[in-house]
Structure 1
């Protein structure tokens, strides 16, 4: 008996079950990262005796480099082998990470665990981004990225809060990392048994894709080298997104590695440090539920430029403050600014990149963005050793403001208002091998243009 061919359609409503499943998977991906946010900076100082900030931040440097390179490969591999195999491979690599964090006899083992974590995050997070973009089509791309990133960073926040509580109650090891063991088991099981391949959805959109006249040079048959050059340097919107993503994660690397040390040095206990470490990604995560969808209505550029400038102001406030309440307010502002930027940058990449090489463009953007972790760890660690943590925060605030101004000058608006998509019911699309159905107004297939 032959298997019945599944219907392939674009749209959030049409793919609601798989979309929701991928949101849950990305929450588990974020949780794997969140298990470290509160505990590792304190573990470095209290159990391994590291006092130099640059030495403490080696784990973020290792994580950022590994994740950046893997993001690049994940995009190419997703186009070549499919999305699901890359996702499952990422979860296999995640399995030993919490065990290494529990049993590491030296700081070098912690760094090695973060190399594996970076590879795993590059494969899993990149793939869930690509799969959601595949499923929803062009009309709700910002909303899709808002849900994806919200799930991931809310899980980062909740896990940072939970591990901070566990560390304060039971100690820095092993109890806080039991959470990571559960996340890895669930993520691997769900991704293997329940997630379906989405590459067919990208092929369907490619059949009906019509480039904006500003994007005529971004044809379907670009080589890997051409995609890299356009995304990194040449195309104004793509390259602006890449640099803004790098600077955004540069300041996140600073927040991850040095903020707990700054707060603890001011006399705050582990519990309050955990609250501050969780507040920033919590606001970041929740805010993306709003900002991603709003960027589908109001455009990408205002959120990207405004978000970078808001982050810069929040970092300056953290550098100047010395009380829990002011730091809490600044952390909330930093999270709000990041929420404005994070899903919107991904949506902008999806707006401009052709569906035939969109996965590669996402991988290249994420190469630059997550390379910011490594740059942030190196830069802020050296500055903190030479001049103190607060000076490092001021410098990163200035770089973030400069990035926002560069985006304001160079980037154009990438999102076309959804009014040009038809609201009439779409004809069914049985499979990507079928010829595209009759065109909707504006030259787009009804399958790709159905309002969701």
Structure 2
């Protein structure tokens, strides 16, 4: 009879992969709230452009590894790709603890970027393989919830540890435990899912893409609209990652407050996907993408309008919810418009461009912040996010109404 597609039929493996992706997200959370102070106190790095170089290094290597992960998933197997990703993550916290110079920190983020590309990509593709078409959005919502909720929780924990014990080494001890547990779970219990691809391929109605890279990037109006929005989403996330803690520090918030505000955004992003992922199975994907990107842009503009802690909590939450609306919808739209055999490669191309947004966002916002100030950098990224929403409305096929 062979493998059976469906969430109910494969709940044990699916739940395991959700748990593993929580550990994957936790590795990013290590750096989410404390890195500006870590760079300044430990290495004397104060230039915004130099500081954001670690995000650029992370984003570039993650983007490239995403692209190759799509191909490698078909060649060496999803499980093997996941294990290799965790092996690359193991030295990262040790390098951050013992780094003698800022270049070593950048090297650690190169390793982290490759690791994230392999681990996150493989868990995404494996979950899509297991559940089939019917619950794809819900599956992606759970996957991204686990990852980004963990980002938020670990960001808060590192902020708390930094406030009470210093920015190093205690916050990075979390990373040692996360990487070891993630590797053991993947190595001992995860099973490969390539057989599920063959099963689903017999029933798919999606037409094969002539050239997966060019169709996903430029030619196919739906796929390319999703790709540009993914790039802009991570472009603004790169800015929030690097500049938001500095902006908050300029408002005289302490480490614990900054950790809380930096953690609210990915936490709401993560929790929100429990609902938005399921919604994307039933409502207009175009509507979710349009309104989600628009809400992100407006929230980023809102950051500049207040210095009140409670208002910034609300704005960070709105930014997180806007991101939750689009993140699982990106992946379900790509999966819907590609064949099962081309799915991993098309998702890899999308994630290549999406995570190049980290590089572009870090470089652009860092340069603008150094030349004109942080306020200008934040405002410019907000403007680009609103433009992305407009592109979705006018280029992507389908109706734009959220309730359609």
Give the TM-score category using the shorter length: over 0.9
Counterpart-to-counterpart distance in 2, 1:319 and 1:236 = 34
Q: Which residue of 2 aligns with 1:432?
A: none
| Per-residue deviation, 1:105 | 1.2
Q: Aligned runs of 1:17-416 on 2, under 5 Å?
A: 17-211=12-206, 216=207, 218=208, 222=210, 226-413=211-398
Structure 2-normalised TM-score?
Answer: 0.97
Q: Which stretch of structure 1 is more off in the superposition, 77-86 or 22-31?
A: 77-86
Secondary structure of 1:385's counterpart equals helix
Structure 1-normalised TM-score?
Answer: 0.87
| Per-residue deviation, 1:74 | 0.2
Secondary structure of 1:69's counterpart equals helix
Secondary structure of 2:281's counterpart equals helix
| Per-residue deviation, 1:41 | 1.5
- Hey, which of these two has a bigger chunk of helix by percent? 2
Q: Which residue of 1 aligns with 2:402?
A: none
Counterpart-to-counterpart distance in 1, 2:254 and 2:205 = 56
Backbone CA RMSD of aligned residues: 1.1
Post-superposition CA distance 1:9-42 (Å, at most 9, x none): 1111011000000000000000000011012121
Post-superposition CA distance 1:403-435 (Å, at most 9, x none): 001001111249xxxxxxxxxxxxxxxxxxxxx
Counterpart-to-counterpart distance in 2, 1:408 and 1:163 = 39
Counterpart-to-counterpart distance in 2, 1:239 and 1:68 = 16
Counterpart-to-counterpart distance in 2, 1:89 and 1:113 = 16
Secondary structure of 1:36's counterpart equals coil
| Per-residue deviation, 1:236 | 0.8
Contact 1:319–1:391 at 8 Å: present in 2 too?
no
Secondary structure of 1:297's counterpart equals coil
Gap regions ≥5 residues in structure 1: 1-5, 415-452
Counterpart-to-counterpart distance in 2, 1:113 and 1:210 = 43
Counterpart-to-counterpart distance in 2, 1:403 and 1:78 = 30
| Per-residue deviation, 1:247 | 0.1
Contact 1:314–1:334 at 8 Å: present in 2 too?
yes
Secondary structure of 1:296's counterpart equals coil
| Per-residue deviation, 1:320 | 2.1
Counterpart-to-counterpart distance in 1, 2:359 and 2:373 = 19
Counterpart-to-counterpart distance in 2, 1:120 and 1:96 = 11
Secondary structure of 1:47's counterpart equals helix
**Which is greater in Rg?**
1
| Per-residue deviation, 1:315 | 0.1
Counterpart-to-counterpart distance in 1, 2:2 and 2:257 = 51
| Per-residue deviation, 1:49 | 1.3
Counterpart-to-counterpart distance in 2, 1:380 and 1:277 = 17
